Amino acid sequence: MRRTCAWYFLIGAVLVLSTPTAEGQCGHHGCYCGDCADGHHNGCGHHAMGEGCCQSGSVTGIHAKQKSQEGKITEINYLPGLTPEGATVQIRLLAGPEALLVRLAPIGFLRENDMELKEGDTLGLTGYWASTIDGQQFIATRITKQSKSLSLRDPQGNPLW
């Protein structure tokens, strides 16, 4: 009986200590989101802004931080999701002399909206820079391919899928 009580106490202590106590703390990784408006999570990275972290925080500065990029897709990767359609599309975009790592949206969302992408396609992007596990990454809020345009995130940076 004592051993069981000790385990329950230990599990309870871990849960209490891992519960977010500061405003803006992610909780699922115990990281501090910091300034949600610029998407930096001080090492959290697992979720770019609007994808599970800082949901309760106000994201008013995202418009001021948005940038435009244009270039050719040199590589397409699919980050694992819960289902094949949930895999997040991440691309390398050759924009001038540098290749940018760009996070887009789940493959299912792109397909539903008839946004087919392949290597060599030229894209126009609007988005913001964020720190992720993969380093600095451009988080697209809108993509344009030829005359077709698709919004990926709302004005607060929250995903539209």
Distance between CA atoms of 10 and 111, rounded to whole angstroms? 47
Q: What is the pLDDT of residues 52-88, one digit of tens each?
A: 443 333 344 555 589 999 999 999 999 999 999 999 9
List strand residue ranges (DSSP E) for the chain, in order: 67-79, 88-95, 98-106, 122-132, 135-145, 148-151
Domains of the chain: which residue ranges?
Answer: 62-151
Q: What is the pTM of this model?
A: 0.62
Alpha-helix runs per DSSP H in 19-160: 62-65, 107-112
3, 11 contact by CB (below 8 A): no
Write out the two tokens for 149: 């345009």
Q: What is the pLDDT of residue 63?
A: 56
Please tell us whether the domain made up of 62-151 is placed in CATH 3.30.420.40: no
